[in-house]
Structure 1
Amino acid sequence: MRWSPRAIQGITPSIGTLRPDLIAGLTAAAVVLPKAMAYATVAGLPVSVGLYTAFVPMIIYAFLGTSRVLSVSSTTTLAILTATELSLAVPDGDAGRLITATATLTVLTGLLLIAASALRLGFVANFISTPVLTGFKAGIGLVIVFDQLPKLLGVHIVKEGFFRDILALFQHLPDTSGVTLAVGGTALVLLVFMERLWPHSPAPLAVVGAGILASWSFGLTSQGVAVVGHIPQALPSLTLPDIDLARQLLPGAIGIALMSFTETIAAGRAFAKQAEPPIRPNRELVATGAANLFGGFFGAMPSGGGTSQSAVVRAVGGQTQKASMVTAAVSAATMLALAPLLSLLPQAVLAAIVIVYSVGLIQPREFLHIRRVRRMEFRWALAAFLGVLVFGTLQGIVVAIILSLIGLSSQAANPRIHVIGRKRGEDVLRPASPRHPDDETFEGLLILRPEGRLFFVNVQHVADGIRARVLQARPRVLMLDLSRVFDIEYSALQMMVESERNLAAQGVVLWLAGLNPDVLDYVRASGFAERLGANRMFATAQSGIRHYQDVVANMADPPMNWRH
Structure 2
Amino acid sequence: MNLQLFATLKNYNFKNLPRDIFSGIIIAAVSIPISMGYAQISGIPAIYGLYGSVFPILFFALFSTSKQFIFGVDAAPAAIVGSALSTLGIAVESPDAMKYVPMIALFAGLWLLLFYFLHADRIVDFISTPVMGGFISGISLTIIFMQIPKLMGSSAGSGEILELLIHIFHAVRTISWFSLGMGIGALLLIRIFKKIFPKFPMAIVIMILGVLATRLFHVDEHGVVLLQAVEPGLPSLVLPQFGGIQLTHVVGRGLMVAVVIMAETLLAENNFAFKNGYKLNDRQEILACAAGNIAASAVGCCPVNGSISRTSMNEQYGGTSQAVSLTAGLVMAVLLAGFTGFIGYLPVPVLTAIVISALMDVVETHLAVRLFKVSRNEFYIFMAACLGVLFLGTIYGVIIGILLSFVSVILKATNPPRSFRGMIPGKEAYYDLQRNRHAYPIRHVVIYRFSENLFFANVKIFQEDLENSIKEDTKVMIVDASSINSIDITAADRLEAIASSMKKKGIQFYITEHSSNLNEQMRSLGIGHLIKEGCVRRTILAALNDADVQKPYDLEIPEAEKKLAQIRSQSHLPAEEENTLEEFAWAFGSNTVRELEEATHQIIQHLHQMPDVEKLSDEGLREHFENWHAFGALDEDEILHRIELHIDELPEELHKEHGHILELIEKRRSRIREKILEEHPELASKLEQNRKRLEERLEQQNPEAMKKWRDWKKKD
- Which TM-score applies when normalising by structure 2? 0.73
Distance in 1 (CA, whole Å) between partners of 2:439 and 2:284 is 51
Pair 1:223 & 2:193 matched:
no
Helix, strand or coil at the partner of 2:346: coil
Helix, strand or coil at the partner of 1:454: coil
The answer to whether the 8 Å contact 1:104/1:296 transfers is yes
Residue identity in the other structure for 2:505: Q
Q: Corresponding residue for 1:188?
A: 187
Larger RCO (CA within 8 A; separation ≥ 6): 1
Distance 1:469 1:117, change over 3 A: farther
Distance in 1 (CA, whole Å) between partners of 2:52 and 2:11 is 26
Residue identity in the other structure for 1:265: L
Distance in 1 (CA, whole Å) between partners of 2:189 and 2:423 is 62
Distance 1:316 1:275, change over 3 A: closer
* CA deviation after TM superposition for structure 1 residue 275, in Å: 7.7
Q: Corresponding residue for 2:682?
A: none
Q: Corresponding residue for 2:102?
A: 103
The answer to whether the 8 Å contact 1:104/1:240 transfers is no
Q: Corresponding residue for 1:308?
A: 309
Q: Corresponding residue for 2:10?
A: 12
Distance in 2 (CA, whole Å) between partners of 1:313 and 1:220 is 33
* CA deviation after TM superposition for structure 1 residue 157, in Å: 7.2
Distance 1:35 1:507, change over 3 A: same
Structure 1: state its 5+ residue gaps.
Answer: none
Helix, strand or coil at the partner of 2:431: strand
Pair 1:297 & 2:288 matched:
no
Residue identity in the other structure for 1:444: H
The answer to whether the 8 Å contact 2:86/2:158 transfers is no
Distance 1:165 1:218, change over 3 A: same
Distance in 2 (CA, whole Å) between partners of 1:206 and 1:157 is 24
The answer to whether the 8 Å contact 2:186/2:353 transfers is yes
Pair 1:421 & 2:419 matched:
no
Distance in 1 (CA, whole Å) between partners of 2:69 and 2:238 is 26
Root-mean-square deviation (CA), in Å? Answer: 2.6
- Deviation sequence 1:410-440 (CA, Å, 0-9, x none): 223333332122233211223332x311112
Counterparts of 1:143-292 in structure 2, within 5 Å, are 143-156=142-155, 159-243=158-242, 244-272=245-273, 277-292=278-293
Counterparts of 1:139-538 in structure 2, within 5 Å, are 139-156=138-155, 159-243=158-242, 244-272=245-273, 277-433=278-434, 435-470=435-470, 475-526=474-525, 528-533=527-532, 535-538=534-537
* CA deviation after TM superposition for structure 1 residue 15, in Å: 4.8
Helix, strand or coil at the partner of 1:193: helix
Distance in 1 (CA, whole Å) between partners of 2:365 and 2:6 is 40
Aligned length: 556
* CA deviation after TM superposition for structure 1 residue 73, in Å: 0.8
Distance in 2 (CA, whole Å) between partners of 1:294 and 1:61 is 9
* CA deviation after TM superposition for structure 1 residue 149, in Å: 0.8
Residue identity in the other structure for 1:387: G
Q: Corresponding residue for 2:49?
A: 50
Distance in 2 (CA, whole Å) between partners of 1:526 and 1:175 is 73
* CA deviation after TM superposition for structure 1 residue 512, in Å: 1.5
The answer to whether the 8 Å contact 2:147/2:156 transfers is no
* CA deviation after TM superposition for structure 1 residue 484, in Å: 0.9
Q: Corresponding residue for 1:121?
A: 120
Distance 1:273 1:93, change over 3 A: closer
Helix, strand or coil at the partner of 1:528: coil
The answer to whether the 8 Å contact 1:84/1:394 transfers is no
Distance in 2 (CA, whole Å) between partners of 1:549 and 1:117 is 59
Distance 1:86 1:506, change over 3 A: same
- Deviation sequence 1:70-90 (CA, Å, 0-9, x none): 101122222222211122345
The answer to whether the 8 Å contact 1:255/1:397 transfers is no
Residue identity in the other structure for 2:177: G
Which has the higher Rg, Structure 1 or Structure 2?
2
Distance 1:263 1:310, change over 3 A: same
Distance in 1 (CA, whole Å) between partners of 2:476 and 2:362 is 55
Residue identity in the other structure for 2:408: G
Distance in 2 (CA, whole Å) between partners of 1:315 and 1:423 is 52
Distance 1:473 1:60, change over 3 A: farther
Distance 1:291 1:401, change over 3 A: same
Distance in 2 (CA, whole Å) between partners of 1:424 and 1:370 is 39
Distance 1:71 1:548, change over 3 A: same
Distance in 1 (CA, whole Å) between partners of 2:139 and 2:425 is 53
User: Does 492-501 or 55-64 show the bigger shift?
Assistant: 492-501
Helix, strand or coil at the partner of 1:537: coil
Q: Percent of aligned pairs with the same residue?
A: 24
Distance in 2 (CA, whole Å) between partners of 1:273 and 1:386 is 30
Q: Corresponding residue for 2:698?
A: none
Distance 1:171 1:252, change over 3 A: same
Residue identity in the other structure for 2:484: V
User: Does 278-287 or 66-75 show the bigger shift?
Assistant: 278-287
Distance in 2 (CA, whole Å) between partners of 1:399 and 1:58 is 32
Distance in 1 (CA, whole Å) between partners of 2:94 and 2:323 is 35
* CA deviation after TM superposition for structure 1 residue 219, in Å: 2.2
Helix, strand or coil at the partner of 1:194: helix
Distance in 2 (CA, whole Å) between partners of 1:60 and 1:450 is 51
- Which TM-score applies when normalising by structure 1? 0.91
Distance 1:374 1:544, change over 3 A: same
- Deviation sequence 1:185-217 (CA, Å, 0-9, x none): 221122112212221322211111111111122
Distance in 1 (CA, whole Å) between partners of 2:236 and 2:461 is 61
Helix, strand or coil at the partner of 2:362: coil
Helix, strand or coil at the partner of 1:10: helix
The answer to whether the 8 Å contact 2:90/2:96 transfers is no
Residue identity in the other structure for 2:413: A
Structure 2: state its 5+ residue gaps.
Answer: 555-622, 631-716
Helix, strand or coil at the partner of 1:288: helix
Distance in 2 (CA, whole Å) between partners of 1:479 and 1:450 is 11
The answer to whether the 8 Å contact 1:104/1:241 transfers is yes
Residue identity in the other structure for 2:162: F
The answer to whether the 8 Å contact 2:146/2:156 transfers is no
The answer to whether the 8 Å contact 1:479/1:510 transfers is yes
Distance 1:236 1:362, change over 3 A: same
Distance 1:490 1:160, change over 3 A: closer
Residue identity in the other structure for 2:8: G
Pair 1:72 & 2:71 matched:
yes
